Every structure is written in structure tokens, then in C-alpha cells.
Chains A and B, each alone.
Chain A
Amino acid sequence: MNRNELLRVEDLSKSFSGFKALHEVSFDLRERDILGIIGPNGAGKTTLLECLVGLLSVNSGAVFWKSEPLTNSGRKDVMFYLPEDIVPYQEQPASRLTGFFRDIYDLSHERERDVLFRLQLEKVLTRRVGELSRGYRRRVLLALALLAPKPLLLLDEPFDGLDPRQTVEVANLLREESESGRTFVLSIHQLADAARICNRFLLLVEGKVVGCGTMEELQRQGSVESTNLEAIFFALT
């Protein structure tokens, strides 16, 4: 076992009516990692995240948490997954949604306020979730994920709908959270965003892992000298 190993995934496979969405996916995750799952549309990024968190059943494979097998029911104790393109409780104000999370997880008002402040959500607290712009809605959802007191957060396209400034701010926030002990798995299709924030990458194509590791490790795997993630990605796929 690696000293900092947090999560290990072994041979995870998932099929939908005969279509293989994930094929023997294996990788590991270390404490404070920000792992970016990179891949084209339909590569199986969302499926992988939903399988990891237990929202989808798997056909085969195993997940280990600190070298111990992680049951389906035990996953919600250690990880939280924020799906892409959801609009929960759209007829209710944003603050009620964050307040609901605060109450469910028995968090302090201070913690909630801190997250809301860091995501600059003070202006939209009274507005209904369904009436928010895409960027604000995404930040409200990110607030929910950050409020979930889990060591591992899985975020599906966290920068989708954010403008460049907001993207940088959210990336900085995630990095701060990582430095304070949290681990992230981000599904990202924008390679520039991934290169900016992630320290490790998992390249996924048609449900198969084509590369995994740090930028340097990927360079070696793809036999490329460029430090451009896009060039490495194309070399490996």
C-alpha cells in the first residue's frame, strides 16, 4: 500500500443493455489529490463517478478505502458526488437549500456562511434556485458539495457554466480545500481547466483507462516531451 493511498479502484466494469460503458477501470487516489478524469463526450466519466459513489450498480470490480473494501452503503460516509446539470428544489430559495444541507450534516452557521462567502453567493441567497443564472446555480451546487463533510468530493464538470474569472476563483477554492485535507475527483472535458487545477489525471476513452498519473508520468506513458495536456492526451488516445 502506498503511504498516502486513500481510494483504490480495481477492474470496475459497467454495462447498459450490452453496451460496455466502463471496461475494467483501475486507478488509485492519494490523500489531497485533485484527480482530473479527462475524456471526450461519452467516455464514461459520469458513469465512473456514479459507480464510485454507489448511485449506479456495477457489473464487476471493487473499491477500496484505505485498503479496506468499501461497501455500497459505506460510500456515502466517505464521499460526496455533485452531478452535472441538476436543478434541485428549483422552487425554493438558495439559502433554504444550503440551510437544508447545514441541518442534515449538523454544520455550524459559520461554516455555511464561510462557504457562501467564498463562492460569492450573498447576492442570490433570496432567489429561487430555478431562477438563478447557470453560473450562480453551479456555484450554489458547489456550495452544497463543499458543505458535505466528506474527505472525498467527486465533482462532475465543476467549471461548466462559469466565466473565466469564476473558473479561476473556484479552482483556487478547490485547491485551498485540497490543501486543508480534502481529496477531489473532477470530471472535466476542458483540458485547459484540468491542467490548471489537477495534479493527477485519468484519461478515459470509450470506458477504458488509456493513461493515469501525474503530468510527468503521462508524458512517459505517451512518449511525448510536451507538457501540454492536450498533446499528451492526443498521443495516448
Chain B
Amino acid sequence: MSKIRTQLMLCGGTGCSATSPAVREVFEKELERQGLSEEVQIVETGCNGFCTLGPVMLVQPEGIFYQKIKPKDVPEIVEEHLLKGRPVEKLFYVEPASEETIPTMNEIPFFSHQMLRVMRNKGLIDPEVIDDYIARDGYFGAAKALQEMTPGQIIEEMKISGLRGRGGAGFPTGLKWEFASKSPGDIKYVLCNADEGDPGAFMDRSILEADPHAVLEGMIIAARAINSHKGYIYARTEYPLAIRRLTIAIQQAREYGLLGEDILGTGFDFDIEIYEGAGAFVCGEETALMRSIEGKRGMPRPRPPFPAQKGLWEKPTILNNVETLANVPQIILNGGEWYSGVGTETSKGTKVFALSGDVNNIGLVEVPMGISLRTIVFDIGGGIPNKKEFKAVQLGGPSGGCVPEQHLDIPVDYEEIAKVGAIMGSGGMIVMDENTCMVDMARFFMDFIQDESCGKCTPCREGTRRLLEILNRICEGKGKPGDIEDLEELSSVIKESALCGLGQTGPNPVLSTLRYFRDEYEAHIYEKRCPAKRCVALLKFEIDPDLCSKCGACFRHCPAEAITWKKKDVAVIQKDKCIKCMTCFEKCKFGAIF
């Protein structure tokens, strides 16, 4: 009989693991010293989601949530909490708005607004122990699919669930499987797209790190549905922890007879291999991904033929994203009806978002479809730091679009988001405050896209580079009349004539910022002014005497000694000495420098 009374669910996700191993080490020592090793177990979990507070730890069964634990805090936790039963309050979460201390995880707004399906095991199991997963009904879905259901029934269940591709495009998963199942051929492939590449997106990584078996189980079910016997997980090389955990998970699943030949004695064979990508963003595009697995340069090819007919090595293939696959086991276990009980008319279930940027609670959140963006940003995300104003939120990474304040009440729904010019995307959600220059933002994403363009088709290769050239000029104060028109014209060419999804959505950063922030472009071009004061070339580096509080912060921090200031006097920047390093801008709390 186990004597364990308490479990310490210490986050071992990529963010927290910067210091959590050191924390764990001290815990082990302390528990040993206090003679608690038998009673208290340390479990290294996958990503908890509240990355901004890392390393975080949940004490079970009480549900006490500790944040920002440092190794030096550990003796106190062991001594006070674990030995004497007095939780350490100074490590509790503090609500930024109300400054209220919240001891348990479920009460923290960041968690309480979430609905966990894909991430239901996060922080609760050790991802490197298959028994933990099985204890949480793991592989029951696969067992049901293999033992009780026909491929047709699996596909039907998936169709009822209304699950749509979580990689971004939102293609109905059941339909995709149905096409592949109907394609003739003995050899078929199930692929998992774990080539998460959008800047600011880390949903798939966290799922793989926290619950790798869920993805494997989803693949087994998919394989059964289309009668495939071989699967590949195409994972980013830049995700070493995810790859390590996947490798362990695959090994364990093989040992348990859940992968390999004759799975669960059903006579069904299926095995999975991990294929590490070489770092190209475009390899997240399905045809490029398949070429890459074939060992060739990852370049998209035109469709048709669609992968469901001719995919990997010209064989019928389905490619699903990590999050999509992680949804599958529960759909099979609980039924499609159960799954579609949550969500909107066209978008069912939950969606994981990676919340980042100018927001208080940076982290991973899973919300039911239909929840408003405002709830995500302000309730779960805790609003904008430093009392700044919200400006826009970028959805769907570089290929997505921005949603400004006036549309913040739209629900999370594929179609509704598309209506305002953004996309659901894979779940990247970058919040921007008033200090963000939208032209500069478009330039940043365009730089990314043109760099990641594979170079095959002309509109994407030349066009995205040209958009960047124009944006660069605008930000450098060399914009000219006609630039906006050129941006629009070229964007429409790229959008309508590029070969693959990367190219076709490439101009989105330009189009969506032009849609909502055209005035900023015009200010840059015609007035040579950057309203957000981010574009260095457009700044005068002068001090507005009306706004200057005469505090001298700029003077003290200027590395070039270009600022003269005396107490109770307005500071003055000497332009011949100024190196335009922006330090004074950052230090001035009053926005007096322009």
C-alpha cells in the first residue's frame, strides 16, 4: 500500500524547466531531511499553461497553487506547508487588478474561465509514465475504436463531433478521414503535424510535453479509421523536450502493446515514427511536410491531387495537427454528441490559445468555442500591463490578422473570426498595446514570411519580399504616395495567385493592418510621423516641454550623454550626440519624447 498523502505537481514544461530542475533537487533533499520522502511524491508534469508565473507547482489534493518558486523557497514550503500544514502565502497568486491573494488553482481567473479537454491532463500526470495516462482513461478511446467500432463508425462519430482542423484551416476532420478511407490502396499514412512554427505559438509543444499519449492515441484511432499501418509525427527539431517525451511515449506504448503489431489483440497493426524537421516554416504546409518526410526539400506542390488521394510517397495520407489528434480519444470515448455540446453552430469543442505579448497572464489557455476574445484577453489574460491601452490582438500568427478593440466581442468561431479579417489559425494570440506601431508590426511579420517563403512560386517569393521593401521604406520615413496602393495591389496578387497556403495568406499582416489602421500608414507616409512612436527613423528625438515632468530619468539613463537636464528644468536632447538608441523613450513614463 502506498503511503503517499501529497503530490507535488511541479511543472516541467519548457518555460518552467529553466529553473524547475533546481527546485526539484532542493525539494528532494528537503523531503529527505524532513523524513517526508515516503509520504510526499514529486511529479514532474507537462506545461501547466501559466507560463508567465513559472516555475509553478500544484499541491494535490488540496489544490494549492504556488508560483515563481525559487530553490531558496523550498525549505519553507516543506517545513511550513508539508510538515505543519500552513501553506506559504507569499508564493500564492496575486490577482493584478484587485491585488487579492488566491491560494487554490481553481479560483484563479486564469484557470477558472478555461475548459480543459485537450489539456485535461496537464499538470496532473507525469507525461513520461504511461500508467498515469491510462489511469486518466487513456487509451480507452483507442480500445473502443479498435474493439467495438468499425472504421465507418469512427468516421461517423468524428463527423458528428464537428471537430475541425486545429492547425488553422479548420477543415472538418471526419470528412478528411472519410476521403482517405475511400481512397483505394493498401498503403496509407497517418501524419501528425507537430511543426508548430508561428511566432508566439506554443500550444502543440505544450500538449506534446504534457500529454504525448493523447496524440498517439488519436493517431491510432485515425489509423484504424482509414486502415493505415504507419504513422509519422513531423516534429520541430527545436522542440527537444517534446521529442524526448514522444519518444518515451512511443516506446512505452509499444511495450504495452498499444503500438506495433496486433494492437490489443485486435489483429490491427500500427506503428509511429518521429521525423524531425529541419527548421523551415513552410514544412508546416501539408504537401511540403510530406516532401520533407520523403527526404526532399520541403516545397509545396499544387493540389489536386489532394493528400487524401496522393500524399506521402504518392499514397493516400491524412495529416492532422497535434491539437486535433489530442481531441480524438475523448470524442471516441464520450461520443461526438458530447463533444459538439460545446461551441457555436459551426465551431465545436474547445480551442487552445497561446496568449502572449502585452498581456499580464502569458500562457496557454483552453477555452470553449464561442467565448469572446475580450474574455480571453481581459479575464483570462488579466488585461494589459502597466495600465496601457489595448490596441489589437494578432490571431493566427503571421498568416493571420489583427482584431482591434471594436471587434473584441466576437466569439471564438472560425467563421466569425474570418469575417473580421483574421483567422483562427493554430492558436497564436499576440496582444498589442497602444505602443505598438501597426506598420512596424506588419513589417515584422512580413520579414518573417518573406524569409520563410520557400522560393518556388513567383508571387510569394518576389511579392512578399516586395511588400517588405515597401514597409521598410515606410517605416524609415521614405514612404511615397502610391505605396499603400502598391501594397494593396501586390497583396491581392499574392493572395490569389500564390501556390500554397503560406503564400496565399502571406499578405494578411498588411491587409488586416491596412483595414483597421490605415491612418497609421498614412501618418507614416504623408506626415512622416509614427503615431505609436516606434519607428526610430520617424522620431525627432525632441522633448515636449508640456509633457515633461522634469524628472531627469532620460538624462540619467542616456548612454551617450546626449541629454542635458537640471533639477526642475525640462530636459533637452542634443541631436549631434544622440545615437537614437531609444533608451530615453523607454525610460520616459510621460511620453514627453517624440
Q: A and B: partners? A: no
A interface residues, Cβ below 8 angstroms from B: none
